[in-house]
C-alpha cells in the first residue's frame, strides 16, 4: 500500500511532460479513486486513477466540464476551479493530473441563517448562473430546456413509484409540484449541477474554490440551491435573498419550491440506487427517510404553499406572467428527443477527454486517433492496476 503514492507520482510525470516531483503524499477523499498529492517546486497537483467504471464515467464528465471553463469564463468566477494538466494510461484506465485546490471545509448542517458564509455562497452560485450559455454550447455540455428538466424529474418520480416503496402521500406531493405549470416557467442558466458543501472550499470568509464539475450544464438554477436545505429552510431563504441581490432572477418563491423538490428527490435517487444495486441497507435507509415525509409537507410543502399563494404580484411579475405562454409537453412522450435524455448524465459529443492519452512517436502524450466518446472502458480492478498499485 505504501508504494501507491510513488506509483501515482511516476504516472504524473508521464501525464505531464517535464514535471519534476519533489514529494508525494496520500490523499483520501473518495473511495472510488486511488489518489495522491504530488508536490512540485511551485505547487501541488492531484493525480487520480478511477477504481470503477462509474468513477471513470464521472471523471470523463468532470474533464469535459473543466475543459468548457476556458480562461474567459474562469475570469468571471470569484473562486478557483481545478485545471486539467494531463493524463496517461494506467492499466486499463487512466491517471488524470489536475491542480490541487485546498481550503477549509464545512458541513451544510453547520450553517445558520446568520452565518457569514451565506453571502459568499450566494455570490459564488450567482456567478456560476451568470456565465454565458455558450460555455455549455461550445463545450459540448448538456443544454436542457425547462420542460426537458420537468420531464426528467417526472420520470424520476415514476421510477421511484415503480419500486412500490414510495408512499402515496409523498408521490402526490411531488406530482402536484410537477403539474403546477407556473413553477416550471423559468429560463435555464449555466449550473454546476452537483453542488454541495463537500465540493466547496473556503478561507478568510470567502469561497476560494469549487470542485466536482461533472454535472456542469445548462439547467435549472434551483439545483445548485437544493443542498442548502440540509441547514434548514432559513438557510436556504437567507442564501436566496442574497442571491437575488447578486443577479436578476425569476420569482423567488418558484425558485425556492423547485429547490425544495430537488432536495426531496435526492431520496428517490437513493432509493433507486439501492434497488438497482440490490443493497438492502440503502433501500431500508431510503424507505425510512420517505416514511418521515409522510404526514408532513416539510420544506417542500411550505415552499409550494408560498409559491402558489394568492399574494399581490409586483409589476415586473405581472408583465412576466402576461408574456408567458407555457407549453407543457406530455411527460410520458416516447419521442426520440426525450428518450435521448439521460436522467443522470448524457454525453453526445466526441472529446479527447473521454479516453486515455497514448504516446506519439516522440513519447509525448497525444489523443488516440480513433477514440470516440461512446467507447466504454472496463471497471478498474486490483488486477488491472499497474503492478506497484496492488502492493
Strand partners, 97: 47, 86
Please give the span between the terminal C-alpha atoms of the chain, in angstroms, as a whole number: 5
Q: What is the pTM of this model?
A: 0.77
pLDDT at position 383 is 53
Cell of 332: 410520458
Is the Cβ–Cβ distance between 121 and 200 less than 8 Å?
A: yes
Q: Nearest 5°: phi and psi at 209?
A: -155, 150
Query: Strand ranges (DSSP E) for 14-83?
Result: 23-26, 33-39, 44-50
All domains of the chain, ordered by start, with CATH? 3-102+353-384 (3.30.200.20), 108-339 (3.90.1200.10)
pLDDT at position 204 is 93
The Cβ of residue 92 has, within 10 Å, a number of other Cβ atoms equal to 15
pLDDT at position 295 is 72
pLDDT at position 243 is 96
The Cβ of residue 338 has, within 10 Å, a number of other Cβ atoms equal to 17
Residues of the chain with pLDDT under 50: 1, 310-358, 365-381, 386-391
Angstrom CA distances, 172 to 96, 167, 250, stand at: 45, 9, 26
Query: Strand ranges (DSSP E) for the chain?
Result: 23-26, 33-39, 44-50, 84-90, 93-99, 189-191, 200-203, 206-210, 217-219, 357-359, 365-367
pLDDT at position 43 is 93
pLDDT at position 360 is 52
Amino acid at each position: 500500500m505504501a508504494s501507491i503514492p510513488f506509483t501515482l507520482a511516476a504516472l504524473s510525470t508521464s501525464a505531464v511532460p517535464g514535471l519534476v516531483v519533489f514529494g508525494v503524499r496520500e490523499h483520501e477523499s473518495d473511495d472510488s479513486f486511488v489518489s495522491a498529492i504530488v508536490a512540485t517546486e511551485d505547487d501541488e497537483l492531484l493525480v487520480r486513477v478511477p477504481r470503477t467504471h462509474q468513477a471513470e464515467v464521472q471523471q470523463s464528465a468532470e474533464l469535459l466540464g473543466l475543459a468548457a471553463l476556458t480562461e474567459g469564463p474562469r475570469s468571471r468566477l470569484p473562486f478557483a476551479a481545478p485545471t486539467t494538466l494531463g493524463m496517461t494510461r494506467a492499466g486499463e484506465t487512466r491517471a488524470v493530473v489536475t491542480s490541487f485546490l485546498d481550503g477549509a471545509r464545512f458541513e451544510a448542517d453547520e450553517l445558520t441563517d446568520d452565518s457569514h458564509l451565506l453571502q459568499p455562497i450566494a455570490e459564488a452560485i450567482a456567478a456560476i448562473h451568470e456565465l454565458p450559455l455558450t460555455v455549455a454550447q461550445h463545450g459540448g455540455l448538456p443544454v436542457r430546456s425547462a420542460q426537458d428538466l420537468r420531464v426528467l424529474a417526472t420520470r424520476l418520480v415514476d421510477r421511484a413509484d415503480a419500486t412500490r416503496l414510495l408512499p402515496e402521500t409523498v408521490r402526490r406531493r411531488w406530482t402536484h409540484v410537477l403539474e403546477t405549470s407556473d413553477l416550471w416557467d423559468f429560463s435555464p442558466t449555466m449550473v454546476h449541477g452537483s453542488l454541495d458543501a463537500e465540493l466547496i472550499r473556503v478561507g478568510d470568509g470567502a469561497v476560494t474554490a469549487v470542485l466536482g464539475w461533472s454535472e456542469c450544464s445548462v439547467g435549472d438554477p434551483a439545483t445548485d440551491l437544493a443542498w442548502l436545505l440540509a441547514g434548514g429552510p432559513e438557510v436556504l431563504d437567507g442564501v436566496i435573498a442574497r442571491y437575488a441581490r447578486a443577479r436578476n432572477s425569476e420569482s423567488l418563491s418558484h425558485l425556492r419550491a423547485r429547490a425544495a423538490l430537488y432536495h426531496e428527490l435526492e431520496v428517490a435517487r437513493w432509493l433507486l440506487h439501492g434497488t438497482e444495486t440490490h443493497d438492502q441497507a440503502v433501500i431500508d435507509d431510503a424507505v425510512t427517510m420517505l416514511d418521515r415525509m409522510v404526514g408532513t409537507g416539510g420544506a417542500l410543502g411550505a415552499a409550494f404553499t408560498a409559491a402558489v399563494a394568492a399574494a399581490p404580484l409586483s409589476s415586473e411579475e405581472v408583465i412576466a406572467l402576461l408574456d408567458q405562454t407555457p407549453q407543457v409537453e406530455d411527460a410520458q412522450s416516447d419521442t426520440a428527443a426525450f428518450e435521448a435524455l439521460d436522467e443522470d448524465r448524457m454525453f453526445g459529443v466526441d472529446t479527447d477527454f473521454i479516453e486515455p492519452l497514448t504516446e506519439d512517436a516522440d513519447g509525448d502524450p497525444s489523443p488516440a486517433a480513433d477514440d470516440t466518446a461512446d467507447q466504454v472502458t472496463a471497471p478498474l480492478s486490483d488486477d488491472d492496476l499497474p503492478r506497484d498499485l496492488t502492493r
